[in-house]
Amino acid sequence: MKPIDLTPRTYITRGRARFALRCWALAAGLCAIAATLPISIESTRRGDHTAEIAREQIEQSQLRQQQNKASATAISNKLTQVERELQAQAHLTQRPDWSDLIARVAAQFDGQVMVGFRLGPLTDPRVREGVGPTAASAPADSVWLILGGVAETNSEVPGLILRLESLGLFDKVVMTKTERTSFAGAARTGFVLACRVQ
């Protein structure tokens, strides 16, 4: 004979409902864990910005290249202009400008007076006369600056020669003539210096 179950039907129904609810809650929890786990793993990883960094570097390189190209164009234009000016100057003058040389030489006369100068090749008779005996051993194509000056005493001239040599403009500076002379109403020493330019 079968045992009779006296459990109320509502209790059984409620138990079954609770069991089903627990099963569904467990399944929903497992689904939620399965969904959030990959998301949390992805969020903990550092983002890969390699492509973005490379794109920024390419943009910066292109910008630098444009700036360098503009600078090169400006420098090229300036160089062309300077070359044209130099060509025009050479075409017009065909000889160097010696004014800066004479100004620097005149600045070395400290207490002495420069009374004249002559610049030219050794083939110029007046230059050859100013060079004096040194002309015999000088190259025929050499260029000389002949300076005439007056000093209070003969001892001042060597100092002037040293100052001229220290300019670094001349291959050689020699005194080719000295004599007593009258200048500004007083007895002075007249001298001639020969400075070899090249």
- Give the lowest-confidence range in 21-25, 62-66, 160-164: 21-25
pTM, two decimals, is 0.49
- Of 186, 170, 185, 119, whose CA–CA distance to 148 is shortest? 119
Dist CA 148 CA 106 (whole Å): 11
Look at residue 92 in the predicted model and tell me its pLDDT: 45
* Backbone φ and ψ of 148, nearest 5°: -105, 135
Per the CB < 8 A criterion, the answer to whether 151 and 175 are in contact is: no
What's the angle, vertex CA 24, arms to CA 20 and CA 25, rounded to 5?
115
Look at residue 128 in the predicted model and tell me its pLDDT: 86
Residues above pLDDT 70, as percent of the chain:
84
What's the angle, vertex CA 159, arms to CA 155 and CA 162, rounded to 5?
140
Dist CA 171 CA 197 (whole Å): 6
Tokens of 76: 């090229």
Residues above pLDDT 90, as percent of the chain:
0
What does the pLDDT look like over 149-193, one tens digit per residue?
Answer: 888 888 888 888 888 888 888 888 888 888 888 887 888 888 888
Dist CA 148 CA 165 (whole Å): 16
- Give the lowest-confidence range in 1-5, 23-27, 141-145, 162-166: 1-5
CA 105 to chain centre: 31
Dist CA 138 CA 62 (whole Å): 61
- Name beta bridge partners: 189: 151, 180
Look at residue 93 in the predicted model and tell me its pLDDT: 47
From the CB of residue 162, how many other CB atoms can be counted at a distance below 10 Å?
Answer: 11
Q: What is the mean pLDDT of residues 83-91?
A: 63
Mean pLDDT across the chain, nearest whole number?
80
The residue whose two tokens read 């006296």 is 6
- Name beta bridge partners: 145: 119, 195
Residues near 167 by Cβ (< 8 Å), separated by ≥ 6? 104, 105, 108
What does the pLDDT look like over 90-136, one tens digit per residue?
Answer: 544 445 566 777 888 888 887 788 888 888 888 888 888 888 888 88
Reply yes or no on whether the pLDDT at 8 is more than 80: no
Tokens of 93: 């003058």
- Name beta bridge partners: 194: 146, 174
